[in-house]
Structure 1
Amino acid sequence: MTEAPVRLLIADDHPVVRDGIRGMFTGDPGFEVLGEAGDGAQAVDLARVLDPDVILMDLRMPRMDGVAAIKELARLGVRARVLVLTTYDTDKDVLPAVEAGATGYLLKDTSRDELVRAVRAAARGEAVLSPSVATRLLGQVRAPADPLSARELEVLRLIADGATNREAAARLFISEATVKSHVLHIYAKLGVNDRAAAVAVAFRRGLLSTDKD
């Protein structure tokens, strides 16, 4: 009995990239490209209608980026496996995508044969990671993100309490510029871009507690 082809959806904001990916699978009876999306929002909409097995998802796209799309797909209960295919392999790209629920993470310099194998594996629910990404994730397991200094934790606690930079500076008897510097270091260490995300990640990692004692 012949296996049903793996049904694919391609999400990338560059038409030439979508054409290239489509071309890799065209003519192979083991795959069926159902459609293409130019941004994350369109990918979510198409996934709900087309019901693909695997979505090849770029990360940096307009309207809705790849991570936001992965989260939305999970929220909606879309069964498709998401295989990230991007040019970026930094911690701030890899970790959010994996935490959001991506089944795999590959870089765009992946060969056709590797991509085909990865898509088949993703369709089976197997985790697929490019070597550099696997190394990064392993490094995170062995040595979690840089610990926050005592002063950075003080600043973070004040941020969690809703203090502005100026208020935090007054409470800690330091300059507002120094507080801003600490905040930037906190963002970098936690892999976030704003105060709300910093607080959320800090609670998740146990750096902050709801206990007021």
Structure 2
Amino acid sequence: MKTNILLAEDDPDFGMILKQYLELEDFEVSWFQNPEDIIPLLSTAFPFQIAILDIMMPNIDGFSLAQTILKEKNNFPILFLTAKNQKIDRLMGLKIGADDYIAKPCDPEELVLRIKNILKRTLPPITEPQIKIGQYSLDTQKLLLSHPNGNARMTVREQELLLYLLKHNHSTITRNDILDNLWETNDYFTGRSLDVFISRLRKYFSNDSEIKIQSLRGIGFEIDFPTH
């Protein structure tokens, strides 16, 4: 099954070049020159796996469009395109929740590589379909965490972090280990963002006192998941 890319680019020449190149790389591309046409799709099945958004567009700029998408589609992978290679743009994009950023004119091969890296990081990893964690059961295909007291639907990033912690179960793991090895860059998540994800995992597992994700000041986390 081909990866379906949502491309928002108002420049007809550059947009056509990107669309044709990505299709040659075996992606399916839905190209929108008017970003407003994307908004109604958010209430549908939204058959895309990643969005490539130009920052400078009429009516709705890329940042605003990204915020609208992420409001409806939590943690949806987004890559920004811009003609301005300025630090403030990059920081703004990452703050909103973008997965990457590339300045125009960009090398198409580099763009494809960045797309593949994003998908590698954000799509659910191939693993056992069912994992027992203490009193919980994780369905990795449905991102569903089940407990006798109720179920919780995890996001892709939450499950990705959980599986990484399980891989290092009964050990101490540093913040840098998580940022460098899981998301491949310390710029991708700030320490505060990582703390938010850790807090969510603690909340998910609050019904089992034997499960511990303990913070170690200045080091990282001590992990203890009883598994079967």
TM-score by length of 2: 0.49
Whole-Å separation in 2 of the counterparts to 1:12 and 1:21: 9
Whole-Å separation in 1 of the counterparts to 2:43 and 2:50: 12
Map of 2:92 onto structure 1: 96
Question: Are 2:2 and 1:5 equivalent residues in the alignment?
Answer: yes
Aligned length: 124
1:41 to 33, 36, 44: 36
Whole-Å separation in 1 of the counterparts to 2:120 and 2:66: 18
Q: List alignment gaps of at least 5 residues for structure 1.
A: 127-136, 142-213
Whole-Å separation in 2 of the counterparts to 1:21 and 1:47: 23
Look up the equivalent residue of 1:37 and give its one-letter code.
F
Q: Percent identity?
A: 20
Per-residue CA deviation, residues 76-119 of structure 1 (Å, 9 max, x unaligned), is 12553111112112133222111111111011232121111111
Question: Are 2:24 and 1:27 equivalent residues in the alignment?
Answer: yes
Look up the equivalent residue of 1:123 and give its one-letter code.
L
Map of 2:76 onto structure 1: 80
Greater Rg, structure 1 or structure 2?
1
Map of 1:131 onto structure 2: none
- Structure with the largest fraction of helix: 1
Task: Specify whether residues 79 and 5 from structure 1 end up closer, same or farther in structure 2 by C-alpha distance, changes over 3 A only.
Answer: farther
How far is 1:32 from its partner?
A: 1.1
Contact 2:6/2:50 (<8 A) preserved: yes
- SS of 1:10's equivalent in the other structure is strand
- Structure with the largest fraction of strand: 2
The root-mean-square deviation of aligned C-alpha atoms, in Å, is: 2.4
Contact 2:42/2:72 (<8 A) preserved: no
Contact 1:47/1:80 (<8 A) preserved: no
Q: List alignment gaps of at least 5 residues for structure 2.
A: 123-186, 191-228
How far is 1:42 from its partner?
A: 2.5
Whole-Å separation in 2 of the counterparts to 1:96 and 1:102: 9
Look up the equivalent residue of 1:38 and give its one-letter code.
Q
TM-score by length of 1: 0.52
Whole-Å separation in 2 of the counterparts to 1:48 and 1:116: 28
Task: Specify whether residues 44 and 124 from structure 1 end up closer, same or farther in structure 2 by C-alpha distance, changes over 3 A only.
Answer: farther
Question: Are 2:105 and 1:109 equivalent residues in the alignment?
Answer: yes
Look up the equivalent residue of 2:117 and give its one-letter code.
A
How far is 1:125 from its partner?
A: 3.2
Whole-Å separation in 1 of the counterparts to 2:43 and 2:104: 26
Map of 2:159 onto structure 1: none
